[in-house]
Amino acid sequence: MNQNMAAAMELRCWGADWGLPSVHTDSLIVLAYTKFSGASVTVSPVDWTWKTITANIPELLCGDSVVQEPAQILNFMRKQRFNADYELTARQGADTMAYIALLEEKLRPALLHTFWVDAENYANLTRPWFASRSPFPLNFLVPSHHANIALSRILLTKGEAPLHRISEVEGKIYSDAKECLNLLSYRLGSANYFFGNLPTSLDAFVFGFVAPLDKAHLPSTPLQSHLRQLENLTRFCDNVLAAYFSSDQPRPPPPVQETVDANLQKLTQLVNKESNLIEKMDDNLRSSPQHKSHRADPKPGLSGARSSTPA
């Protein structure tokens, strides 16, 4: 086995913003994994270079080999003995594969839609950001290229032939994504990471998918508001950012465990839902005609007493 660990690894990815080391999901997955596994990788953002359109981001260069796609890059790093999954049992490794498949099938279409297809978000956030990070004249090409790829991916995987129309699948992909976020929240419970006390590749994937959704300043936010209600997921992202991406310490001690009962959390979610329902019912009741008789007779004596001037 050649001592390739000494060879420098360079990662090409999209640049940082919104408090995250990268705004691009796949780049973020790889960056998180490099931190978790302790690999030293020079990060070269492709912003303002021609690589924005020629390269398949993220890309790992090590010696002569070029590896693309997050799953392949993670495999490559494991072979270089940077393995964050070392302590997992076989069953946990199988669970990792299953949850990653869940993320890809259920969450990715909705994320692509939120960032690249939703007209408000695309026009106000995504396109300006990517156009501002691409050199002239690519700033006209790069965002629309990504948007086309995103739209065709959503339609081909979720659209029902022969009527490939985005409006028909929108409802379905968002409800799938919300369910996926709920499932992740159940699985995470009150733990810091998905498997024990140290983060693994599943944590990297979840971080890569969830963090941009949490931190981006999206104008149109049904999915983001749903995510923000799942406090353990937002806390998970903040933990990872504070522990591995804050600029002072390379590998800090494990964060303090909060003793929040998982059942209490579920109960809180249920109570929130119930109180929302009750509020809605209350609103409906107040606007119904029978209710008006109650409020139409203010006590004349009191108001008269308040407004009477002292003689």
Pairing of β 41-45 and β 65-68: unpaired
Binding mask 95-134 vs another protein (x if CB under 8 A, - otherwise)? x-xxx-xx-xxx----------------------------
Beta strand pairing call for 9-13 and 59-62: antiparallel
CB of 175 to another protein, least distance (A): 6
The candidate with the shortest Cα–Cα distance to 59, out of 33, 81, 26, is 26
- By CB under 8 A, which span of 10-18, 118-126, 154-162, 296-304 interacts with another protein? 154-162
Instruction: Check binding of 168 to another protein (CB under 8 A).
Output: yes
End-to-end CA distance of the chain: 102
Exposure string over 161-200, b if 16+ CB within 10 A, otherwise e: eeeeeeeebbeebbebbbebbeebbeebebebbbbeeebb
Contact 188, 236 (CB under 8 A): yes
Q: Which two tokens stand for residue 120?
A: 């408000």
In the complex, the smallest distance separating the C-beta of residue 90 from another protein, rounded to whole angstroms, is 4
Q: Single out the residue of 3, 91, 119, 299 in contact with another protein (rule: CB under 8 A).
A: 91
Q: Which residue has the tokens 């008006």?
A: 292
Strand 65-68 relative to strand 9-13, pairing: unpaired
Least distance to another protein from the beta carbon of 110, Å? 14
Residues 172-191 that bind another protein (CB under 8 A): 172, 175, 179, 183-184, 186-187, 189
Q: Which stretch binds another protein (CB under 8 A): 7-15, 77-85, 161-169, 271-279?
A: 161-169
Alpha carbon separation from 48 to 42, 45, 213 (Å, rounded) = 18, 9, 24
Contact status: 222 vs another protein (CB under 8 A): no
Instruction: Number of residues interacting with another protein: please give it, by CB under 8 A.
Output: 33
With CB under 8 A as the contact rule, the residue among 7, 8, 141, 156 that binds another protein is 156
Q: HSE on the CB side for 156, CA within 13 Å?
A: 6
Site for another protein in 71-90 (CB under 8 A): 90
Interface with another protein, residue 165, by CB under 8 A: no
Contacts with another protein by CB under 8 A lie at 69, 90-91, 93-95, 97-99, 101-102, 104-106, 149, 152-153, 156-157, 160-162, 168, 171-172, 175, 179, 183-184, 186-187, 189, 266
